[in-house]
């Protein structure tokens, strides 16, 4: 197999996945993206049979797809069809895509130093981290909070350090990472205040409205903040007038409160993520989708998404949630 470029999710799991693949195919370019961007076609120009797609939705034109999301699990027929056109799909029921990459390539490349990352990355991406760990000063927790796929230069710097074998403990003391961590600590406090003011809890579902605010966050911050008040959260983010200059489309992310329900959530949240968006999905306890155009009766319509669709999507999701 020949791989000449990588498209990876722009989070810690995607970045570590890219670092592992770069140990195998050295000096190839890496582009960090987001599921909504892949679905919208923003990375189509990067797709050939020599492109590896990591921790993101499957793209029909790629040559290698590595993932762990349940809703991206290929059927035997899909795997055969992909292989017939020169695409290899590697999917495992693992806590992280980085774990799938590690399992796939640990005999091909020296990944001994990567093991220092794996435990915490598995916990963070697989919803197995404790509230105490999440609120701690663990270096990998804070490195993860500094990652923003919109800041490509920083992501590339971080990627290169990991490829070169710099440990998490060493990394937090290097520039610009240490500076980013200090900024992230200030941002974390600001995010907590913003989440408090943008959240409504309905039927033990925390609904966080970050749309049009240019901010994204994950469910850990929300569920750690609201604690026992919620069983899950949905975070609305993105813009009605989305474009390719950093304004991602209106989307929703769903997370179970893994601090409260350590063995799994009270409801399979993919039922919400796939209710209207055929490309929605992820895991039962962490998933996402795009806001879809709905009628007042909750039926899909063939038109552009409008701001009023946010409330209609939320209402339909809450109805499904009420049947848990």
The domain limits of the chain are 5-177, 198-321
pLDDT band at 216 (very low <50, low <70, confident <90, very high): confident
- Average model confidence (pLDDT) across the chain: 95
Lowest mean pLDDT, pick from 60-74, 111-125, 238-252, 258-272? 238-252
Residue 33: its H or E element: strand 30-33
pLDDT of residue 55 exceeding 90: yes
**pTM of the entire structure?**
0.86
Average pLDDT over residues 290-310: 96
Question: 244 pLDDT exceeds 70?
Answer: no
Q: Helices (H), strands (E): how many in the chain?
A: 13, 11
A 10 A CB-CB count for 194 gives: 16
Q: How many CB atoms lie within 10 A of CB 170?
A: 12
* Distances, alpha carbon 76 to alpha carbons 65, 81, 100, 134, 165, in Å: 15, 9, 18, 38, 37
Strands 251-256 and 232-237: antiparallel
Q: What is residue 257's predicted lDDT score, i.e. its pLDDT? A: 97
From 219, 217, 242, select the one nearest 230 (Cα to Cα).
219
Question: H or E stretch including 314?
Answer: helix 308-321
Give 123's pLDDT tier (boundaries 50, 70, 90): very high
Whole-number pLDDT of residue 215? 86
Would you state the pLDDT for residue 40?
A: 84
> CA 179, 183, 189: angle at the middle one, nearest 5?
150
In this predicted structure, what is the pLDDT of residue 53? 98
For the segment 151-155, the average pLDDT, to the nearest whole number, is 96
Distance from C-alpha of 54 to C-alpha of 294, rounded to nearest angstrom: 31
Using the predicted structure, report yes or no on whether residue 28 has a pLDDT greater than 80. yes
**CATH 3.10.310 for domain 198-321:** yes
pLDDT for 159 beyond 60? yes
- Total Cβ atoms within 10 A of residue 208: 25
Per-residue tokens: 40: 């919208």
What pLDDT is recorded for position 245? 62
Q: What is the reported pLDDT for 103?
A: 98
pLDDT in the model for residue 180:
96
Kindly state the percentage of the chain with pLDDT values over 70: 99
- Quick one: pLDDT at residue 246? 66
Burial of 76 (0-12, 13-18, 19+ CB in 10 A): exposed
Q: Which of 42, 40, 43, 50 is nearest to 5 (CA)?
A: 50
What pLDDT sits at residue 263?
A: 86
Beta strands in 154-296 (DSSP E): 199-202, 205-209, 232-237, 251-256, 281-283, 286-290
């Amino acid at each position: 197999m020949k791989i000449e470029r990588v498209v990876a999710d722009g989070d810690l799991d995607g970045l570590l996945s890219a670092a592992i693949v770069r140990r195998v195919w050295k000096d190839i370019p890496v582009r960090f993206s987001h599921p909504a961007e892949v679905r919208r076609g923003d990375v189509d120009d990067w797709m050939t049979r020599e492109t590896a797609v990591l921790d993101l939705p499957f793209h029909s034109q790629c040559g290698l797809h590595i993932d762990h999301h349940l809703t991206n699990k290929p059927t035997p027929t899909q795997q055969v069809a992909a292989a017939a056109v020169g695409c290899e799909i590697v999917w495992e029921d693992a806590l992280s895509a980085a774990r799938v990459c590690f399992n796939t390539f640990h005999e091909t490349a020296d990944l001994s130093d990567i093991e220092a990352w794996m435990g915490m990355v598995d916990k963070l991406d697989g919803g197995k981290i404790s509230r105490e760990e999440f609120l701690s000063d663990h270096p990998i927790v804070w490195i993860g909070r500094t990652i923003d796929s919109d800041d490509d230069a920083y992501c590339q710097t971080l990627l290169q350090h990991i490829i070169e074998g710099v440990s998490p403990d060493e990394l937090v003391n290097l520039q610009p990472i240490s500076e980013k961590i200090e900024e992230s600590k200030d941002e974390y406090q600001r995010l907590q205040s913003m989440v408090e003011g943008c959240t409504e809890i309905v039927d033990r579902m925390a609904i966080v409205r970050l749309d049009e605010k240019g901010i994204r966050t994950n469910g850990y911050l929300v569920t750690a903040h609201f604690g026992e008040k919620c069983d899950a959260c949905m975070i609305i983010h993105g813009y009605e007038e989305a474009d390719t200059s950093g304004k991602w489309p209106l989307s929703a992310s769903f997370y179970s409160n893994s601090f409260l329900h350590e063995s799994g959530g009270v409801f399979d949240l993919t039922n919400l993520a796939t209710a209207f968006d055929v490309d929605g999905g992820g895991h039962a306890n962490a998933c996402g989708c795009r806001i879809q155009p709905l009628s007042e009766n909750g039926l899909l319509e063939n038109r552009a998404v409008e701001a009023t669709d946010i409330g209609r999507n939320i209402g339909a999701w809450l109805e499904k949630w009420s049947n848990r």
